[in-house]
Amino acid sequence: MLIQQKRIFGLDLARSIAIVFVLIAHGLDFFILPILHDSYIGGLLWIILIYPMGFFGVEIFFILSGFLIGTIIIRELVEKGSVISLFNFYIRRWFRTLPLYYLVVIFLIIYPTGEGFSWANLYFIQNFSASDLSFNPVSWSLSVEEWFYLTIPLIMLLCFKLKKGNKPKAFLIISLTIIGSSLVARIVSVMLLDPTFDFGIRKQIFLRLDSITMGVVLAGIKFYYKDIYNILIEKRKMIFIVAISGLLLCEVWLVVNRIEVLNTSFFSRTFYFNFISLFCAAFVLSLETVSPNKMKFLVNPITFVSVISYGLYLLHFHVYLIVKNTFKMNNLVTGTSVFLLAISVTIVIAYFIYNYFELPIMNLRDKFNFLKRNSNQQIAKKDAS
């Protein structure tokens, strides 16, 4: 049975939408597109639906990660500001993200679905080589997130340790500086190296840290500028419309330019990613306070999908490949049927892995809360004296 805990339904909704986008995008790519690959419809399907859904789904994940981690960074590192806080942050993050990731890596070593194993996949540096990344293609976003977890909290802690002052203002300045630095890095990369849009920019670790940091800015506004945040929440319907309209415009840009133009476009490889992040942040903001009472019949399915979303993301690509290679798909009916079978198998596996692998590990990580342990030891000393 899935863990019962206090959850924010609006964020579960956003997370569910993100993973459904990714699942559908790769499913269409694996099971439907091959049947239509020689047709004009197949080309339209890829550029209008498949690529944008996968793209935007991951970007929503980035914003959600930044939003949730940003709150932890503020409370544990900015406000408390200790090395123990940072160490505790790393332990809790890695207990959440690394075990399942390495479990998948072990599975792929034993039963490879792509290219051969590369040591780069153990250290999250596979994004620097297309051949290394092909061992586990969906892991590119995990590399961006893990390096974000490793570097940005440390930067935040050092900045607030070295200079005391107005924390709210300083927090936003540091966050915006990180966003600006990633943008500058993309600009320099485009001017000097002429990278491709997808692998050369979209999937490069230090060129994409701004996408997660945009969520951190959202967390900073909520924590430090509650009046402004409450005004934004009051206007969430309008913000939702702006977010959807903006993302549709971003999709139109993809459709109009196609991948050949995107690979040479200066705007597409630089500022375009900031617009995506901004509209995804607005999308998450507009959904955060959605009441579960308005979606009573969907609350349990949405929460279920959200809770197992990490497993769904890491597992689906490889389950899809295995299922695809097992069945023949000669028409849309068989392609759709196999697609639905692959999604069902992925959900079942993710459910069991969450309950019997992820959840026990997350329960175990509380034993490694060094801040809590240190606090309890101090209390015990006081009681003994």
SS (H, E, C) 204-224: CHHHCHHHHHHHHHHHHHHHH
* Rounded-to-integer distance, Cα 67 and Cα 232, Å: 15
Is residue 55 classed exposed, middle or buried when 0-12, 13-18 and 19+ CB atoms within 10 A define those classes? Answer: buried
Does residue 2 form part of some domain?
Answer: no
Predicted local distance difference test score (pLDDT) of residue 5: 58
* Rounded-to-integer distance, Cα 150 and Cα 217, Å: 18
Q: Which of 55, 61, 21, 52 is nearest to 281 (CA)?
A: 61
* Structural domain for 254, as ranges: 9-379
Q: Which residue has the higher pLDDT, 349 or 47?
A: 349
Token code pair at residue 212: 């997660």
3-state secondary structure of 77: helix
Does residue 58 form part of some domain?
Answer: yes
Terminal-to-terminal C-alpha distance of the chain: 45
pLDDT classification of 209: cutoffs 50, 70, 90: very high
Q: Which of 85-89, 329-333, 356-360 has the highest mean pLDDT?
A: 356-360
Query: Residues 239-262: what's their mean pLDDT?
Result: 94
- C-beta neighbour count of 270 within 10 angstroms: 20
**Is the per-residue pLDDT at 382 higher than 60?**
no
Q: In whole numbers, what is the pLDDT of the chain averaged over residues?
A: 91
Instruction: Count how many domains the chain has.
Output: 1
Question: 273 and 186 in contact (C-beta within 8 Å)?
Answer: yes
Does residue 385 form part of some domain?
Answer: no
**Is the per-residue pLDDT at 115 higher than 80?**
yes
Predicted local distance difference test score (pLDDT) of residue 179: 97
Does residue 46 form part of some domain?
Answer: yes
Predicted local distance difference test score (pLDDT) of residue 371: 53
Does residue 3 form part of some domain?
Answer: no
Does residue 168 form part of some domain?
Answer: yes
Query: Residues 52-72: what's their mean pLDDT?
Result: 96
Query: Residues 326-350: what's their mean pLDDT?
Result: 95
Query: Residues 76-103: what's their mean pLDDT?
Result: 90
Question: 189 and 201 in contact (C-beta within 8 Å)?
Answer: yes
Predicted local distance difference test score (pLDDT) of residue 372: 55
Percentage of the chain surpassing pLDDT 70? 93
CA 60 distance to own-chain centroid: 6
